[in-house]
Amino acid sequence: MTSYPRKKTRQIMVGSVPVGGDAPISVQSMTTTKTADVEATLAQVYALAAAGADIVRCTCNEREAAEGLARIVPRSPVPIVADIHFHVEMALAAIEAGVDCLRLNPGNLRKPEEIKLVASECKDRGIPVRIGVNAGSLDKRLYEKYGGVTPEALVESAQVELGLFAEVGFDNVKISVKASRVPLMVEAYRQLSQQVDHPLHLGLTEAGPPPAGIIKGTAGIGTLLMEGIGDTIRYSLTTDPVEEAKAGRSLLESLGLRERRNVDLIACPSCGRAEIDVYKVAQEAQAALETREIPLQVAVMGCVVNGPGEARSADLGIAAGKHRGHLFIRGEIVRVVPEDEMVEALVEEAEKLVKEGFDARLAAADKGAAQLAEADRQALLDAKGADANRSEARVELIHRRLADGRAEG
């Protein structure tokens, strides 16, 4: 796996998941159900875990939510973080519910004695806290001191909270300084990272719906990760949170920061040479492969003229040619299948590759597949060759016309 020199942070445990130090960067998301609705919330927690979330946060905004957490935590497949705003009683109730971590927002749980009370309780029970600073709810005093929301103001908000925790000897902490503007968020985390060695939870808050929300989140989170900053991440998208977990996992996999767990589907953008509807086949392949644990790069290419060559580095791929699909493993043609069986053949081969390995599947290649594929390729090349000949004839006409012009002049 690729690795970017990572800023050394201390490690904390969120339930069974280590965060910080040399622990893998974890993915987080948040449920959108009423926490009091235990079955609905657990269904979402399971969906998030299946999509790649290592840790899930649930709001604890009322007594019934705290009671729900007491029932959710023992049945959850991943550690549960209680999100606390405004009410110290909810923080204390969440602790009683047995949650694995609290998230406190310094902007709206402000009374020092209340913050210290929660920190003392967490210290006694070994529960970590995320100091979750948010640009949108920055403490008014800091807003006035800095003349607005600045990176310095966000960092100071976290430092003030850390100071209160230190008064009761509590430092089992991770920190976030989220904002909805990428440059502000990136700079705040850079500054924070220079000042503390606590693990950092990265996020661009209120990023909005995809695709813009994913682009903004990736710009902010990806930039920081490539600078070695960040120990756990969350995309905040205005959509089904399963998309947040998928995006988080996908970002870490594409940066080489987590092992590939699911398929990495690559596909050509299609062009005038395409022999199939590339968008449709790629979408069908994505839908069929993404639910399986297939840690391979799989290519869907619109034509056999360039496809297998361009996707040579893919583990497995299929290219369309003359109403047939050419299935290839690391650039070598292994089977030729009818066009309407392309996706099915791709999925079947992907599963066999994972089970049997590359050598075995290359050895099991259909005899004659390569020749048949080459014949298709040549036929398409010949068709393109006719185009090319016509082009050359036109160029010749231009030459002649210009030469005639010179002679007349």
Residues of this chain that interact with ligand SF4 (CB under 6 A) are 268-271, 273-274, 301-303, 305-307, 310
Indicate the residue among 120 and 270 with the shorter CB distance to ligand SF4.
270
Q: Compute the distance between CA of residue 27 and CA of residue 29 in angstroms, rounded to an integer.
A: 7
Shortest separation between residue 352's beta carbon and ligand SF4, angstroms: 24
Shortest separation between residue 362's beta carbon and ligand SF4, angstroms: 22
Indicate the residue among 104 and 268 with the shorter CB distance to ligand SF4.
268
Shortest separation between residue 313's beta carbon and ligand SF4, angstroms: 14
Residue with the shortest CB distance to ligand SF4: 302
Indicate the residue among 125 and 312 with the shorter CB distance to ligand SF4.
312
Angle at 291 between CA 285 and CA 295, to 5 degrees: 80
Indicate the residue among 91 and 311 with the shorter CB distance to ligand SF4.
311
- Long-range Cβ pairs for the range 395-404 (8 Å, 24+): none
H helix or E strand, kind and range, residue 376: helix 369-408
At residue 289, what are phi and psi to the nearest 5 degrees?
-95, -25
Indicate the residue among 8 and 384 with the shorter CB distance to ligand SF4.
384
Shortest separation between residue 346's beta carbon and ligand SF4, angstroms: 15
Shortest separation between residue 96's beta carbon and ligand SF4, angstroms: 59
Indicate the residue among 159 and 270 with the shorter CB distance to ligand SF4.
270
Instruction: Report yes or no: 124 and 95 within 8 Å, Cβ to Cβ.
Output: no
Burial 309-324 (b: 16+ CB within 10 A, else e): ebbeebbbbbbbbbeb
Instruction: Report yes or no: 212 and 242 within 8 Å, Cβ to Cβ.
Output: no
Shortest separation between residue 264's beta carbon and ligand SF4, angstroms: 18
Shortest separation between residue 308's beta carbon and ligand SF4, angstroms: 9
Beta bridge partners of 316: 298, 329
Q: Compute the distance between CA of residue 224 and CA of residue 219 in angstroms, rounded to an integer.
A: 9
Shortest separation between residue 377's beta carbon and ligand SF4, angstroms: 11
Indicate the residue among 50 and 271 with the shorter CB distance to ligand SF4.
271
Q: Compute the distance between CA of residue 213 and CA of residue 235 in angstroms, rounded to an integer.
A: 8
Q: Which of 152, 159, 219 is nearest to 190 (CA)?
A: 152
Got the DSSP string for 37-75?
-HHHHHHHHHHHHHHT-SEEEEE--SHHHHHHHHHHGGG
Indicate the residue among 15 and 321 with the shorter CB distance to ligand SF4.
321
Instruction: Report yes or no: 76 and 42 within 8 Å, Cβ to Cβ.
Output: yes
Tokens representing 49 are 């875990």
Instruction: Report yes or no: 85 and 61 within 8 Å, Cβ to Cβ.
Output: yes
